[in-house]
Amino acid sequence: MKIFSIGVSGLSSAQAALLATSNNISNVYTPGYHREIPVLEQQRVGGVGVGAIQRQFNQFVAAQLNSATSNLSGLDAYHAQVAQIDNLLGSSNTGLAPLLQSFFSSLQDVVASPADPAARMGVIGTANALTAQFRAVDGYLHSMQHSINGQIGNEITGINDTLAQIARLNNEITLAVANRGEAPNALLNQRDAMVNKLAESMDVRVSYLDGVNYSIAMADGKPLVVGGRHFEIEAVMAADDPTRVTVGYDGPAGTPVELGETVFAGGRLGGLMAFRRETLDSVQNGIGLLAASLAHAFNGQHGGGTDLYGNAGGDLFALGAPRLFANDNNSGGAQFSAIFDGTAALSGADYDIRVSDAASGTFVVTRRDTGASFDIALNGANQLAFDGLVLTLDDPAQLVDGDSYLLQPTRNVTRDFANLIRDPGLIAAGQSASSGDNRNALALLDLQNSKVVGGRASLNQAYAGLVSDVGIRTNIAELNLQAQRGFTEQIRVVQQSESGVNLDEEAANLIRYQQYYQANAKIIEVASTLFDTILGVSR
Amino acid sequence: MRISTQTLFGASTATLQRQQAEFLRIGQQLASGQRVLKPSDDPLASSRALEVSQSKAVAEQYAAARVGARNALSQQEQVLNSIGHAITSAKTLAVQAASDTLTPADRASIAAELRGILETVLGQANAADGNGRYLFGGFQDDSPPFVRDGAGAVSYVGDANARNLRIDDARLMAVGDNGITLFQMVQAGAGYVATAAPGNAGNLTFTGPLVLDNSAPDHGSAFTLEFSVAGDSISYSVNGAPAQIWQAGEPVVFGGLSLKLDGVPAAGDSLVVAPSGGVNTDLFATLKNLVDALERPDQTATDKARLRNTLNTSMRELDNALDNILTVRASVGAKLNELDTVDEVAGNRILNYEETLSQLVDFDLVKGISDYSLRQMGLEASQKAFVDITRMSLFNFL
pLDDT tens digits in sequence order for chain B, 398 residues long: 888 888 888 888 888 898 999 899 999 998 988 888 888 888 888 888 888 888 888 888 888 888 888 988 898 889 889 988 988 988 888 888 777 777 778 888 888 888 888 888 888 888 888 778 888 888 888 888 888 888 778 888 888 888 888 888 888 888 888 888 888 777 766 677 888 777 777 777 887 777 777 777 777 777 887 877 777 777 777 777 777 777 777 777 777 777 777 777 777 788 888 777 667 778 888 888 888 888 777 777 777 777 888 888 888 888 888 888 888 888 889 989 988 988 888 889 899 999 998 888 888 889 889 999 999 999 999 899 888 888 888 888 87
CA distance B33 to chain A (A): 14
CA distance B242 to chain A (A): 52
* Cβ neighbours for B58, distance < 8 A, ≥ 6 positions apart: A104, A448, A449
Q: Which residues of A touch B10 (CB under 8 A)?
A: 492
What are the tens digits of pLDDT across the range A384-432? 888 888 999 888 888 888 899 999 999 989 999 999 998 888 888 888 8
**What's the one-letter identity of residue A309?**
Y
Average pLDDT over residues A76-102: 84
Residue A189 and residue A197: Cα distance in Å, rounded? Answer: 12
Q: What is the DSSP string of B106-143?
A: HHHHHHHHHHHHHHHHHHHHT-B-TTS-BTTSTT-TTS
Residue B50 and residue A523: Cα distance in Å, rounded? Answer: 85
Paired residues of B164 in beta bridges: B174
> What is the pLDDT, as a whole number, of residue B374?
92
What are the tens digits of pLDDT across the range A168-213? 999 999 999 889 877 789 999 999 999 999 999 999 999 987 888 9
Instruction: Identify whether the C-beta of residue A392 lies closer than 8 Å to the C-beta of residue A385.
Output: no
| Residue B99: burial class (beta carbons within 10 Å; 0-12, 13-18, 19+) | exposed
Residue B167 and residue B59: Cα distance in Å, rounded? Answer: 9
> What is the pLDDT, as a whole number, of residue B313?
83
Q: Which residues of B touch A496 (CB under 8 A)?
A: 3-4, 6-7
Cβ A112–B141 below 8 Å, yes or no?
Answer: no
Q: Which of B50, B140, B163 sits opposite A467 (nearest CB)?
A: B50
Residue of B nearest to A105 (CA): B61
Q: Which of A465, A475, A503 sits opposite B40 (nearest CB)?
A: A475
Q: Which residues of A touch B68 (CB under 8 A)?
A: 112-113
> Helix/strand/coil (H, E, C) string of A483-505?
HHHHHHHHHHHHHHHHHCCCHHH
In total, the C-beta contacts within 8 angstroms joining chain A to chain B are 173
CA distance B274 to chain A (A): 35
Q: Which of B6, B42, B44 sits opposite A496 (nearest CB)?
A: B6
Mutate to test the interface with B, among A468, A493, A495 (most CBs of B within 10 A): A468
Paired residues of B166 in beta bridges: B172
Residue A418 and residue A299: Cα distance in Å, rounded? Answer: 12
Q: Which residues of A touch B169 (CB under 8 A)?
A: 449
Cβ B5–A501 below 8 Å, yes or no?
Answer: yes
Cβ A502–B3 below 8 Å, yes or no?
Answer: yes
Q: Which of B7, B54, B139 sits opposite A432 (nearest CB)?
A: B139
Q: Which of residues 198-257 of A touch B (CB under 8 A)?
A: none
Q: Which of residues 134-163 of B touch A (CB under 8 A)?
A: 137-142, 159, 161, 163
Q: Which of residues 4-43 of A touch B (CB under 8 A)?
A: 28-29, 35
> Helix/strand/coil (H, E, C) string of A34-49?
CCEEEEEEECCCCCEE
Q: Which of B38, B53, B163 sits opposite A436 (nearest CB)?
A: B163
Residue A400 gets which letter from DSSP? -
- pLDDT-derived band of residue A91, with 50, 70 and 90 as boundaries? low
Other CB atoms within 10 Å distance of the CB of residue B373: 10
Q: Which of residues 61-100 of B touch A (CB under 8 A)?
A: 61, 64-65, 68
Inform me whether the C-beta atom of residue A78 falls under 8 Å from chain B C-beta atoms: no
Average pLDDT over residues A58-82: 93
Q: Encode B300-337: b = buried (16+ Cβ within 10 Å), e = exposed.
A: eebeebbbbbbbbbbbbbbbbbbbbbbbbbeebeebee
Mutate to test the interface with B, among A24, A121, A432, A434 (most CBs of B within 10 A): A434
Cβ A434–B141 below 8 Å, yes or no?
Answer: yes
Q: A253 — phi, psi (to 5°)? A: -75, -25
| Residue A200: burial class (beta carbons within 10 Å; 0-12, 13-18, 19+) | buried
Residue of A nearest to B158 (CA): A434
Which is nearest to A100 in space by CA: A380, A366, A291? A291
Residue B252 gets which letter from DSSP? E
Q: Which residues of A touch B133 (CB under 8 A)?
A: 113, 115, 435-436
Cβ B39–A113 below 8 Å, yes or no?
Answer: no
Average pLDDT over residues A254-273: 87
Alpha helices (runs of H) in chain B, residue ranges in sequence order: 5-32, 43-97, 104-125, 179-183, 283-295, 301-361, 365-391
Share of residues in chain A with pLDDT > 90 (%): 52
Average pLDDT over residues A298-303: 91
This complex has an ipTM of: 0.79
Other CB atoms within 10 Å distance of the CB of residue B372: 16
Tell me the CA end-to-end span of chain A in Å, nearest whole number: 19
Tell me the CA end-to-end span of chain B in Å, nearest whole number: 25
Cα A167 to its chain centre, rounded Å, is: 26
Average pLDDT over residues A474-494: 92
Q: Which residues of B touch A507 (CB under 8 A)?
A: 393-395, 398
**pLDDT of A538 above 70:** no
> What is the pLDDT, as a whole number, of residue A172?
93
Paired residues of B165 in beta bridges: B173
What's the mean per-residue pLDDT of chain A? 89
Say if strands B154-156 and A215-218 run parallel, antiparallel, or are unpaired.
unpaired
Candidate from A253-257, A399-403, A478-482 with smallest mean pLDDT: A253-257
Q: What's the pTM value of the predicted model, to 2 decimals?
A: 0.84
> What is the pLDDT, as a whole number, of residue B122?
87
Q: Which of A436, A471, A492 sits opposite B43 (nearest CB)?
A: A471
Instruction: Identify whether the C-beta of residue A73 lies closer than 8 Å to the C-beta of residue A200.
Output: yes
Q: Encode A431-470: b = buried (16+ Cβ within 10 Å), e = exposed.
A: bbebbbbbbbbbbbbebbbebbbbeebbbbbbbbbbbbbb
Which is nearest to A285 in space by CA: A343, A375, A367, A364? A367
> What is the pLDDT, as a whole number, of residue A417?
93
Q: Which of residues 8-67 of B touch A (CB under 8 A)?
A: 10-11, 14, 38-44, 46-48, 50-51, 53-54, 57-58, 61, 64-65
Cβ B133–A439 below 8 Å, yes or no?
Answer: no
Share of residues in chain A with pLDDT > 70 (%): 98
Residue A419 and residue A134: Cα distance in Å, rounded? Answer: 11
- pLDDT-derived band of residue A539, with 50, 70 and 90 as boundaries? low
Cβ A436–B394 below 8 Å, yes or no?
Answer: no
Residue A397 and residue A333: Cα distance in Å, rounded? Answer: 9
Cβ A465–B159 below 8 Å, yes or no?
Answer: no
Report helix, strand and coil shares of chain A as percent, to nearest 5.
55, 15, 30
> What is the pLDDT, as a whole number, of residue B259?
79
> What is the pLDDT, as a whole number, of residue A92?
61
> What is the pLDDT, as a whole number, of residue A430?
87
Residue A472 and residue A465: Cα distance in Å, rounded? Answer: 10
B260 or A265: which carries more pLDDT confidence? Answer: A265
Cβ A460–B48 below 8 Å, yes or no?
Answer: no
> What is the pLDDT, as a whole number, of residue B311?
82
> What is the pLDDT, as a whole number, of residue B190?
62
**pLDDT of A471 above 80:** yes
Q: Which of residues 113-172 of A touch B (CB under 8 A)?
A: 113-116
Three-state secondary-structure class, residue A223: strand
> What is the pLDDT, as a whole number, of residue A94?
66
